[in-house]
Amino acid sequence: MSTTDTDGIAEAGDDGGESVESFRTRARAWLADTMPPLPDGATNQLLAREDESGERARRLQRLLFDGGFAGISFPAAYGGQGLSRAHQRAFTQESLPYQMPTVFNVPTLSILAPTLLDFGTEEQKVRYIPAMLSGDELWVQFLSEPSGGSDLAGLVTRATRDGDVFVLNGSKIWSSGAFRSDYSLCLARTDWKVPKHRGLTMFILKIHQPGIEVRQIKMVNGTGEFCQEFFDDVLIPATDVVGEVNDGWTVASRLLFHERDATGGGSPYVSGVATAAAGQDGQRSDLLELARETGQTADPRVRQLVAEARVNDRVQSQLVERVTTGIRTGAFPLPAGAIPSLFAATNTERHFDIGLEIAGAGAGAWIDDDADRWGETYLLRQGLSLGGGSNEMQRNIISERVLGMPREYAADRDKPFDEVRHN
């Protein structure tokens, strides 16, 4: 038996299993034989944009699964490989030149699967996690609602118990990629007579079924990633409750912890992406390439800017490493995960600002339509600062739950939810 950490992931090298280096060698050979290389100049991010339906990602994920390289840090009992973070890191490093199903990382494998591992019943884990790892099922989170996202516990989508089923009515919004996805974790209100955190339940919800309408929402950059869903008397079997009825906040809090890990770059379940956890510090090279393409690498001002972005990226991965270690060893409380999330979001804001500066006039008007369009990239600058909990929410968490400062005044504290004013 291998020793495991608080999060149940194997530690490298202490179970007599395959060493990281031997695994790396095997992975390298397998990748070369099996996975399609990235075409010149392409990135997995760009390819994912062209794969709106997700069919390409599902095929690639299936290749990983059949080859024994899917879910490297997931337990073998649920279709994973049961290996350590170090094995996952090694695999990611080897995988960077190849096409990878990166769409599966967030939220399916890094947020929703770990939440099911934490709270799902044995039947739920056996039914759903292998299907994620094999590329058969993509997942999405149904949390935010038109009435508000930051005040998640104040949501108003209603699930009413009727014998062995719950009846769902209401609407979810900003769910990324719901149109191409199969399942969701959906948080809904099951008791209106108690204060808001105590009347929520988390459900596994099949997306494409009678009573659910999914609409794509056009985003500022023209893509239709965002969706809104409308629920009209959708029937959910009671066996699809995750955790306890009316204890959905506990499950949601854990989900949000995994989300901070994923957005901050510390998740051990992300594969094939040069995140901080992958040990590929400072790999973002888009600004250096922009400086090269625009012939500005000798300009001292541009050198300062490109180097500043590199410094921030390096520090980001060092910070992820520090906070992940701190949380795992108990030196930091769980909410400290908000620290790398806030850093990643503000670093991204700065990264886009620097790109805009280096792009110069080309950010606003251009001739060559194939060139990287920094202006358009810049339009989505706030994405990471809102999605996964806004920067303001992260700052509340850090000041209140890491530094112990007084909580914000809340007009709804301890009040039965049906007496609370809401949108």
Ligand X SMILES: Cc1cc2nc3c(=O)[nH]c(=O)nc-3n(C[C@H](O)[C@H](O)[C@H](O)COP(=O)(O)OP(=O)(O)OC[C@H]3O[C@@H](n4cnc5c(N)ncnc54)[C@H](O)[C@@H]3O)c2cc1C
**CA gap 353, 359 in Å, rounded:** 10
DSSP-H helix ranges across 274-390: 286-293, 300-329, 338-359, 374-379, 383-386
Q: Tell me which residues touch ligand X (CB under 6 A).
A: 140-144, 148-150, 174-176, 383, 386-387, 389-390, 392-393, 408
Q: Is 307 in the site for other proteins (CB under 8 A)?
A: yes
CA-closest candidate to residue 411, choices 195, 199, 193: 195
Give residues 334-363 in contact with other proteins (rule: CB under 8 A): 339, 342-343, 346
**CA gap 265, 87 in Å, rounded:** 17
Q: Is 329 in the site for other proteins (CB under 8 A)?
A: yes
* Comparison of 95 and 181: residue with beta carbon closer to ligand X: 181
Phi, psi of 416 (to 5 degrees): -55, 140
**90 within 8 A of 20, measured Cβ to Cβ:** yes
Closest approach of ligand X to the CB of residue 302, in Å? 29
- Of the CA atoms within 13 Å of residue 118, those in its CB half-sphere come to 20
Question: In this structure, how many other beta carbons lie within 10 angstroms of the beta carbon of residue 28?
Answer: 15
- Partner whose footprint covers residue 402, from other proteins, ligand X, none (CB < 5 to 8 Å by kind): other proteins
Among the options 94, 137, 145, 259, which is catalytic? Answer: 259
> What is the three-state SS of 364-409?
CCCCCCCCCCHHHHHHCCCHHHHCCCCHHHHHHHHHHHHCCCCCCC
* Comparison of 233 and 392: residue with beta carbon closer to ligand X: 392
Which one of residues 297, 360, 413, 414 is an interface residue with other proteins (CB under 8 A)?
297
* Stretch of 109-117, 186-194, 370-378, 399-407 contacting other proteins, by CB under 8 A: 399-407
Q: Is 315 in the site for other proteins (CB under 8 A)?
A: yes
Please count the residues of this chain forming the interface with other proteins, following the rule CB under 8 A. Answer: 41
Helices and strands in the chain: count of H runs, count of E runs: 13, 8
Which one of residues 13, 75, 326, 387 is an interface residue with other proteins (CB under 8 A)?
326
Closest approach of other proteins to the CB of residue 141, in Å? 24
DSSP, res 4: B
* Stretch of 137-145, 154-162, 252-260, 397-405 contacting other proteins, by CB under 8 A: 397-405
* Comparison of 236 and 393: residue with beta carbon closer to ligand X: 393
- Partner whose footprint covers residue 330, from ligand X, other proteins, none (CB < 5 to 8 Å by kind): none
Closest approach of ligand X to the CB of residue 165, in Å? 23
CA-closest candidate to residue 231, choices 189, 298, 146, 171: 171
Binding mask 263-292 vs other proteins (x if CB under 8 A, - otherwise)? Answer: -------------------------x--x-
- For residue 94, indicate whether it is catalytic: no
Distances (CA, A) of 237 to 124, 163, 168, 188, 411: 13, 9, 11, 14, 34
- Partner whose footprint covers residue 312, from other proteins, ligand X, none (CB < 5 to 8 Å by kind): other proteins
**CA gap 402, 50 in Å, rounded:** 41
Closest approach of ligand X to the CB of residue 234, in Å? 17
Q: Give the SS3 label for residue 229.
A: strand
Q: Which residues are catalytic?
A: 259
Residues in contact with other proteins by CB under 8 A are: 288, 291, 297, 300, 303-304, 306-308, 310-312, 314-316, 318-319, 321-323, 325-326, 329, 331, 339, 342-343, 346, 392, 394-400, 402-403, 405-406, 408
